[in-house]
Structure 1
Amino acid sequence: MNLTAMKLEKLTLKEKISYGYGDLASNFVWGMATSYLLFFYTDIFGISAAAVGTLFLITRIWDAVNDPLMGILVDRTRTKHGKARPYLLYLAVPFGIISVLTFITPNFSDTGKLIYAYVTYTLLGMIYTGINLPYGTLMTMMTRDSNEKGQLGSFRSAGRSIGGIIVAAVTLPLASFLGNGNQQIGFPLVMTIYSIIGVALFLLTFKNCKEKIAQPFQKGSAPKIGKSLKAMFKNQPWVIVALNALLWFTRLGVMNAITIYYVNYVVGKPALVPVFLTLLNVANLVGAMIAPFLLKRLGSRNASITLYSIVVVLLVLMYFVEGYSTFLFGTLFFLINVLIGFGEPANLTMLGDSIDYQEWKFKHRVEGLLYSSYSFATKFGVAIGSAFVAYALGWAGYDPTALTDQAISMIKILMIVAPIAITVVEIFVLYFYKLDKTHAQITKEIAERSA
């Protein structure tokens, strides 16, 4: 099969579903980290909220180095399995092991607990980068077609959402059951089950997803790192996509982290925590399912701006119904997250298109570097969101054994006002994205060069 034919080849349903398995596997772990880790550290492990906020920020500083290094490594990897796929094969089991260790609560002193949390969470971030970054890069190597990339992004988002749904709905009751009421025992047992399933899913992604778009490699042909970095920051579409991802995942970090506190202490119904977390992830799944239709009709940029504008309106409405009707509040919460859920497939589509733009404009293709820097933006966004919640709760004097009015007010602000502000900035950033109009011509010119 010649290069041009591979560029135009459509992906099978099996390939698309198998690609979604990768984020399903990832989010058995990362869903636990975004939804429960802050709560786990403060209410089960016994670390202060402020200390956890610092932990989240410091560990992400390492990602500033770790992610681009991993991307550069992927760009220079050449094996019989390709550039990205080998990492799915060889890192799946280590990823499962460190995931379990992160949720173990050894009987250490306060200082010892904090050191253990730093070590295990840092290792978790590193191994997550080692497997999830090549997985994300794999999408850009499977097709150039924007519609196909949009569908891959939707299947990926669906996998993430399904993983999140299972984690949200099952974790607390399963941890209580397996631990016989002791969450310090229950949480690592639940994580063991999730890790075994995740390893199997990553291996299926490796088996069924092939790399079809890759530049031939010759010794000395890889672009210099400095040149690639300079070109990356001159790639305006990519810069916009990275900023948008940072904002999207910052909001995700805020909403995932604060929801459990809001339902526990504002709604006053701890039994509804799994319900609300499940609603959030089901809504994201619905958003991912409708994404391909809107992307094809409106394009990534216009569809995103339209839906995010509606999100702002619904968040304002949610502010006014808060405290009056749990059902109405939950309905608005669901609708908001349906519209937000659309954003990840849209952003992944824009990312893939910006990588094509990089190849067209600068005559070299560095999927690993561009995706790794994008990945850093997503992880740093979650870390900023989670750390912001932790710091804000600490500043408000949050203590799970003695809640104050100030702490309750801060929880309400974090639940509604913070997402409004983030979404408004996101709309502003997306206004400057223009690649939807020119991408078809760009891919045509790339194909003509390679013919």
Structure 2
Amino acid sequence: MNLTTIKTDKATLSNRPTLQDKLTLREKISYGYGDLASNFVWGMATSYLLFFYTDVFGISAAAVGTLFLLTRIWDAINDPLMGVLIDRTNSKHGKARPYLLWMAVPFGILSVLTFITPNFTDTGKLVYAYITYTLLGMIYTAINLPYGTLMTMMTRDSGEKAQLGSFRSIGRSIGGIIVAALTLPLASYLGKGSLQVGFPFVMTIYSIIGIVLFLLVFKNCKEKITQSIKKEKMPNLKKSIRQMFRNQPWVVSAVNVLLWFVRLGVMNAILIYYVNYVLDKPHMVPVYLTLLNVANLVGAVIAPYLIKRLGNRNSSIGMYSIVVVLLVLLFFVEGQSTILFALLFFFINVLIGFGEPANLTMLGDSIDYQEWKYGERTEGLLYSAYSFATKFGVAIGSAFVAYALGWVGYNPDAISDNAISMIRILMILAPIILTVLEIFVLMFYKLDKTHGQITKEIAERNL
């Protein structure tokens, strides 16, 4: 049967949650703990790591750009391997959950090591950064990829998945808010004015909290879908990869999320420079970083309601169209009104933050589509490629910022007019271009109207 042959009347598309699909509030909140834990670390990486490497550790911007790109290229191999490993895991804890238990402590340790600044030569500093950041990325994959895959194993229902995605985004935003508001003041306080001393102390605190949160996800979130599927022989990897790239809803979701995270990488990396040198308000850096994450939190909270009414595709296209208009207005408001600028910045990031729950819901629905079309539910593989898109997107965005700053000769001790102009371009023009591209890609997503019937047919097969 083709996707286009599915009837779309209201009766056929009913997708009310079954008892198995329905999740408790405790499960939803606990699931959000995972991204809260992740963003105590990855929030630091996206918001502060470029600044940490250039202004605290003393590595050149161009060298950091290459570091970000090369370390993420390894994820093209590392992430799918982890996805296959999840699909082939058969433990008493399930397929994805055991990795939350096994990897929580190593993740915390590598997080601290990444933000230590040993007194090495310039070459030694760069080697240390490559080793620690690469290992951190691998451990992040080993815990965050199973965590993300777990959502697709908890329920088939799109509404429940949207709520899980929303709680996950709320967790990410709360983690981002804490990191944005507390990191620099806390690092300065604990380091007695020295960020080199303060950053490792801050990361130690964040890592301990993150370990506890991941263990709570492991304890409270169960794999319900995989437990109800009959045991079959392991899927052929080459065949599964071919099917994945023939899964049109998944391809659209993956490209869309790549663009979303490229924009995230650009905006998070450049914001600290923009506030410091364009707005000339260095004391406001924690405020703007906090404002960004609070806005993302608001977007995540409203997302399930709009997704339910308009669907993933239409609601996302609508939100991003408004983002483009507001970014243009932001350019003209800069330097005119501090309050109006902050309000526009806030609303832009509310609408951008809305996109993450929609992205996660589209991914979950595309995994259901894969099972419906090919008879195989390879959550690990599909989510691993999606995970690679998220990390590679942030890496491309951050590396692009680093290369652009290096190209104009960025020097934190002597900021040139060219550097100021480039920071403006990266802050406003680059997100406009990326958002327009994202709208174009989303035009090709067609699964919203037919997902209800697909899940109904899958349920009938499994009776």
TM-score of the superposition, structure 2-length normalised?
Answer: 0.95
Matches within 5 A, 1:363-378: 363-378=375-390
2:314 to 294, 297, 302: 302
Tell me the equivalent position of 2:424: 412
* 2:397 corresponds to which of 368, 382, 385: 385
Q: Give the aligned partner of residue 3 of structure 2.
A: none
Aligned twin of 1:348: 360
C-alpha distance in 1 between matches for 2:56 and 2:399: 18
Of 395, 398, 403, the match for 2:415:
403
The equivalent residue for 1:87 is 99
Q: Secondary structure at the match of 1:435?
A: coil
Partner residue in 2 for 1:68: 80
Q: CA–CA distance in 1 between the matches of 2:133 and 2:157?
A: 37
Aligned match for 1:188, one of 188, 193, 200:
200
Cα distance, 1:184 vs. partner? Answer: 0.3
| Residue matched to 2:120 | 108
The residue aligned with 1:170 is 182
Aligned residues: 447
1:311-322 aligned at under 5 Å gives the runs: 311-322=323-334
Give the 3-state SS of the residue equivalent to 1:82 in structure 2: coil
CA contact (8 A) 1:7 1:213 kept: no
Q: Which residue of 1 aligns with 2:10?
A: none
How big is the shift at 1:421?
A: 0.2
Contact in 2 for aligned 1:141/1:211 (Cα 8 Å): yes
Please give the alpha-carbon distance, in whole angstroms, between the structure 2 residues aligned to 1:323 and 1:424.
25
| Structure 2 residue identity aligned to 1:263 | V
Tell me by how many angstroms 1:415 deviates: 0.4
The equivalent of 2:434 in structure 1 is 422
Which amino acid is 1:83 matched to? K
Counterpart for residue 215 of structure 2:
203
2:20·2:224 contact (CA, 8 Å) conserved in 1? no
Residue 23 of structure 1 corresponds to: 35
The percent identity for this pair of structures is 79
Residue pair 2:367, 2:378 contacting (<8 A) in 1 also: yes
Per-residue deviation at 1:325?
Answer: 1.6
Which of 264, 268, 278 is residue 256 of structure 1 equivalent to? Answer: 268
Question: Which residue among 227, 238, 258 is the counterpart of 1:226?
Answer: 238
Structure 2 residue matching 1:47: 3-state secondary structure: coil
Q: Could you tell me whether the CA contact under 8 Å between 1:7 and 1:143 is conserved in 2?
A: no
Give CA deviations for 1:54-81 in whole Å, capped at 9, x if unaligned: 0000000100000000000000000000
Contact 1:98 1:123 in 2 (8 A): yes
Q: In the alignment, is the contact (CA less than 8 A) between 1:85 and 1:138 conserved in 2?
A: yes
Q: How far is 1:114 from its partner?
A: 0.1
Question: Residues 7 and 353 of structure 1: is their aligned pair in 2 closer, same or farther, counting only changes over 3 Å?
Answer: farther
Kindly provide the CA deviation profile for residues 262-284 of structure 1, in whole angstroms up to 9, marking residues without a partner as x. Answer: 00001111110000000000000
Contact 1:8–1:145 (CA<8 Å) still a contact in 2?
no
Q: Which runs of 5+ in 2 are unaligned?
A: 1-15
Q: Which amino acid aligns with 1:355?
A: I
Q: Distance in 1 between matches of 2:163 and 2:18?
A: 18
- Given that 1:102 and 1:121 are in contact with CA atoms closer than 8 Å, whether structure 2 keeps it comes out as yes
Q: Distance in 1 between matches of 2:444 and 2:73?
A: 28
2: CA distance, partners of 1:236 / 1:158: 28
Structure 1 Cα separation of the partners of residues 231 and 442 of structure 2: 38
Q: Tell me the residue number matched to 1:394.
A: 406
1:149-168 equivalent positions in 2, closer than 5 A: 149-168=161-180
Task: Check if 1:281 corresponds to 2:293.
Answer: yes
**How far apart in 2 are the matches of 1:98 and 1:269?**
33
1:87–1:134 CA contact under 8 A, matched in 2: yes
* 1:412–1:7 CA distance, 2 compared to 1 (3 A): same
Alpha-carbon shift at residue 218 of structure 1 (Å) = 4.5
SS of residue matched to 1:210? coil
- Looking at structure 2, the residues matched to 300 and 10 of structure 1 have their Cα atoms a distance apart, in angstroms, of 20
CA 1:377 to 1:265, structure 2 compared with 1: closer, same or farther past 3 Å?
same
Whole-Å separation in 2 of the counterparts to 1:396 and 1:415: 15
Q: Does 1:332 align with 2:326?
A: no
- State how far apart, in whole Å, the 2-side matches of 1:9 and 1:429 are: 30
- Give, in angstroms, the shift of residue 9 of structure 1: 3.1
2:47 maps to what in 1?
35
Q: Distance in 2 between matches of 1:8 and 1:46?
A: 53
Cα offset, 1:222, TM superposition? 1.0
Shift of residue 437, structure 1, vs aligned partner = 0.6
1:7 deviation in Å?
7.0
Contact 2:71 2:133 in 1 (8 A): yes
Q: Is the 8 A contact 2:295 2:353 kept in 1?
A: yes
- Is residue 358 from structure 1 mapped to residue 374 from structure 2 by the alignment? no
The CA distance in 2 between the partners of 1:416 and 1:9, in whole Å, is 42
**Deviation string for 1:382-432 (max 9, x for gaps)?**
000000000000001110011110000000000000000000000000001
Displacement, 1:216?
4.3
The answer to whether the 8 Å contact 2:229/2:462 transfers is: no
Amino acid of the residue matched to residue 110 of structure 2? I
What's the CA shift for 1:326? 2.0
Alignment partners' CA distance in 2, 1:38 and 1:240: 30
2: distance between equivalents of 1:11 and 1:278? 31
CA spacing shift, 1:351–1:48, aligned 2, 3 Å:
same
Match of 2:21 among 9, 29, 46: 9
CA–CA distance in structure 2, aligned partners of residues 108 and 47 of structure 1: 11
Give CA deviations for 1:292-314 in whole Å, capped at 9, x if unaligned.
10010000000000000000000
What is the DSSP-based 3-state SS (H/G/I as helix, E as strand, rest coil) of the residue aligned with 2:415? coil
